[in-house]
Structure 1
Amino acid sequence: MPRQKRGKSPPKTAQPPKRKRTPNAAKNAPSTERVEATPPAAHNINGVQVDYVKLAAEIIKQQNAASESCAPIPNSSSISAPSTSASPSTLAPSTSSPSTLTPSTSAPSTSGQSLGASSSATQPADLLALIDNVFSSKTGGCQHCPESVSYTNIHSLPFTRDLSAPSQQLLQAALSTSSRMAYYRSWQLFLQWKPSYTSLPVTELDLCNFIGYLFSANYAPSSVSSHVSAIGYLHKICSVPDPTEKFLPKKLLKGCHALAPQQDTRLPITTDILRRIIKAIDITEPLLCNRLLLKAFYLLAFQAFLRIGELAARSHNSNQVVQRSDVNFKISNGILSGVTIVMKHFKNNIEQKPVTLHLSNSSSITFCPVRALYDYTTHFAHTSGPLFQFMSGESVTHHFISQQLCKVVSFIGLDPKLYKGHSFRIGAATHAASLGFSENYIQKLGRWRSNAVRRYIRISSFDI
């Protein structure tokens, strides 16, 4: 039986229309093969699987402020709103790695990727070198650190290095030496709390937690604000997004002031209490050299309205306290009549101008600050270095003075929690007011630059 021709079979009668389609028809017809060959942009790019739900959750976890403070992510809009036309490089998982967004909680990347187009990871020593440079008394942030030091998003240091000499001088003078030292200590405190930080910027979350840590450690609201200012200063001078300008840290600082005790519990050391302290030193301190030192220190602090930090160093840097060369005694015909003290470093000395204090002998030899200071310097016979130093030549520390004051105050039957080193300054202002001196004159005596002197005058503490 002859075979049936294939041209007459039913399947071939349905296929000729496909082969006879015009080019325009083929162009307009949707191609199912092309759709199947293109991977969905939301699931696979260049063979890399991307889970955008997890990616969005990670970005939210880092918080918007933390994301802003880190290096900008190229085409970040395409990450939050993925599109099939976005380039694979903008959607690659490596650009949104948690280690990039969180420099404080993860180790520096070893893959060679940078945090941004012009940033790089740093080692811990690099951040310390940056802090040393900005808060150095010699450079004040005007000089660039060694070339081996790299920074994260820092552009201003080379810029400040290229400033003219007068501009650099103005920049250095804008921050006083005492403030520069205080800011340096604030950064040391922050790095002790968060040693994992290797680069800027500080995240808003860590800054908020640092504020909470300081408050829980019973830091005064003013001290907390000062530490936060130090963090903000370094960010500003390095042209890095400043987390201290965010809404949440500002509210936390306001909360510190709202929850902290508003009343200053420190009581003034009156003339009567001062006399009792001087007498008790002969009993509480066995060493003659320390007795002479403490008597001169306490009497001078009261008579000259001095802060403890102006006479005793808080750290090994003893150049900021009164030096022995700053003290000159007035002796005429073999009789000691007074002493002059040149104050070169003190709080709020914005003009950087020294102030000379003149003290005269008092009628009581036992409680005369001039006589006590003269006996102390004669016994120690030192001609250089800090005014108050031990026999070994080491500077008297703030801790030693506070410790000895606590011991002698307890001995005379008073509460050491109420009488601190600043009680001498409070007592001096109150005593001057009780003698009839005006508030303006007391302000000049104590070198106050504002009406803060009013908080030191406590007439109710005296029997007038």
Structure 2
Amino acid sequence: MANLVEVVNGISSEVLLEKAKSYIEQSKASNTVKSYKSDWTDFVTYCSTNNLKALPADEMTIIKYVTELAENKKVSTINRRISAISQAHQAAGYNTPTQTFAIKALLKGIKREKGTMPDKKQAAIIDDVKLMLGTLGADKLIDIRDRALVLIGFAGAFRRSELASLTVEDTKFDRNGLTITLRHSKTDQEGQGIKKGIPYGSNPDTCPVRALLDWLNASGITQGAIFRSINRHSQVQPNAMTDKAVALIIKKLAEAAGLDASQYSGHSLRSGFITTAADCGADERSIMKQSGHKSLVVMRGYIQDATLFKHNAASQVGL
């Protein structure tokens, strides 16, 4: 992506310049920055291959690029690429070239033809979670970790990146259960902090609080990252696992449980909690408090088929 130094080139001090650059980069979540860089690289490569100018890019260059993308990319990918192009131009001090009438009309036409319904992964509802847990033993360190990961991820409706970033310092145990403080999240980019309460479960085998205590005791972790990788010698590593590792663990457990692993992802625990809670009659406000959603519309999008057959009009017409 364009050099962000250009945004703040009016600052003469090199130290202040680096600080300003750091602040600008921190204005976006790390995963967003990674995506933008990847998408910008794709656009630059396209322009280089076709002898076109990437920065600043003209309207026709973007129209050609987007039209080619539409042949085999999803609408969500195209939107992200457009956003990356816009961000790169603004970061370099140029006006964004992506807001012209022609480009907006092109995107609208692509959306109408291809549709915008997201390809969501399967929600890991409570029955799925129990099947996954049933594949784990009680003695191996990796099983103790994975049990805690699944139960905390589900009960806290955590994103996979949030699970990977949890630290011992973020937790507080008391007689009510476990309080987890999220220092940063997708809906709290400014780091005000969000607290989530994880109550004790009625069944010791599926209690998220007990599961986490078991993992901390077994691993000997007293500070820093909670969920870490374990090597082949059953040694806990010093650094936090990645969010990708969280997703791979969910897929591994889904496959072991006889589920279609391709339909599950690191987000399945989060959507599974929301779906299960809705199915059990939890009110939307309490679900949003646990999930951290700010938008009711967005939260409702996670409730996958939970109420599809509840109060269904088709069941009341005498068929």
Scaled by the length of structure 1, what TM-score is found?
A: 0.55
Q: Report the CA distance between 1:204 and its aligned residue.
A: 3.6
Q: Does 1:253 align with 2:104?
A: no
Say whether 1:299 aligns with 2:151.
Answer: yes
Q: Which residue of 1 aligns with 2:84?
A: 230
SS at match of 1:349: coil
Structure 1 residue 422 and structure 2 residue 277: aligned?
no
1:459 alignment counterpart: 306
| Distance verdict in 2 for CA 1:182–1:161, change over 3 Å | farther
For 2:179 and 2:309, the matched residues in 1 are separated by: 29
Alpha-carbon distance in structure 1 between the residues aligned to 2:167 and 2:71 = 37
Q: Deviations over 1:39-84 (max 9, x none)?
A: xxxxxxxxxxxxxxxxxxxxxxxxxxxxxxxxxxxxxxxxxxxxxx
**Any stretches of 5+ residues in structure 2 without a counterpart?**
230-235, 312-319
C-alpha change, 1:236 and 1:375, in structure 2 (3 Å) is same
SS of the equivalent of 2:172 reads strand
Distance 1:160 1:442 in 2: 46
Partner of 1:189: 39
**Greater mean alpha carbon deviation, residues 287-296 or residues 272-281:** 287-296
Deviation at 1:303, TM superposition (A): 0.4
Closer/same/farther in 2, CA of residues 260 and 379 from structure 1, 3 Å limit: farther
- Deviation of 1:302 (Å): 0.9
TM-score normalised by the chain length of structure 2: 0.76
**Candidates 294, 297, 311, aligned match of 1:449:** 294
Q: Which amino acid aligns with 2:85?
A: I
What's the offset of the Cα at 1:396? 1.2
**1:325 paired to 2:169:** yes
Q: Structure 2 counterpart of 1:425, which letter?
A: R
Conservation of the 8 A alpha-carbon contact between 2:40 and 2:88: no
- Specify whether residues 205 and 268 from structure 1 end up closer, same or farther in structure 2 by C-alpha distance, changes over 3 A only: same
Cα distance, 1:326 vs structure 2? 0.9
Q: Would the aligned equivalents of 2:40 and 2:84 in 1 still touch at CA under 8 Å? A: no
1:431 to 267, 276, 280: 276
Equivalent residue for 1:266? 121
CA RMSD of superposed structures (Å): 3.5
Structure 2 CA distance for partners of 1:444 and 1:247, relative to 1, 3 Å: same
- Asked if 2 retains the 8 angstrom alpha-carbon contact of 1:183 and 1:227, the reply is no
Shift of 1:261: 5.6
Q: Which has the larger radius of gyration?
A: 1
CA distance 1:301–1:214, shift in 2 (3 Å) = farther
**CA displacement, residues 22-44 of structure 1 (integer Å, 9 cap, x when unaligned):** xxxxxxxxxxxxxxxxxxxxxxx
SS at match of 1:417: helix
Counterpart of 1:400 in structure 2 is 245
- 2:194 aligns with one of 355, 372, 377: 355
* 1-structure distance, mates of 2:202, 2:24: 43
Runs (4+) of structure 1 exceeding 6 A deviation are 461-464
Letter in 1 for 2:260: D
CA distance in 2, matches of 1:270, 1:422: 12
Aligned counterparts of 1:205 and 1:293: Cα–Cα separation in 2: 53
Shift of 1:237: 4.2
Q: Deviations over 1:225-248 (max 9, x none)?
A: 234223212322443132211234
Quote how far apart the aligned CAs of 1:209 are.
Answer: 5.1
Partner residue in 2 for 1:54: none
1:244 aligned counterpart, secondary structure = coil
RCO (CA 8 Å, sep 6+): is it higher in 1 or 2? Answer: 2
Seen in structure 2, the aligned counterparts of structure 1 residues 190 and 329 have a Cα distance that, compared at 3 Å, is same
Q: Is the 1:329–1:338 Cα contact (8 Å) retained in structure 2?
A: yes
Identity, % of aligned pairs? Answer: 24
Distance change >3 Å, CA 244–CA 294, structure 1 → 2: same
Residues 188 and 419 (structure 1 numbering): CA distance in 2 closer, same or farther, change over 3 Å? closer
- What letter is aligned with 1:392? Q
Contact 2:228 2:238 in 1 (8 A): yes
**Gapped runs of 5+ residues in structure 1?**
1-126, 135-144, 146-153, 313-320
Distance 2:211 2:258 in 1: 24
Q: Please report how far the alpha carbon of residue 371 of structure 1 lies from its aligned counterpart in structure 2 after TM superposition.
A: 1.1
Query: Is the aligned partner of 1:369 residue 2:181?
Result: no
Find the counterpart in structure 2 of residue 202 from structure 1.
57
Deviation at 1:300, TM superposition (A): 0.9
Q: Give the secondary structure class of the aligned counterpart of 1:243.
A: coil
Map 1:96-111 onto structure 2 (within 5 A): none
Does the aligned pair in 2 maintain the 1:268–1:426 contact within 8 Å?
Answer: yes
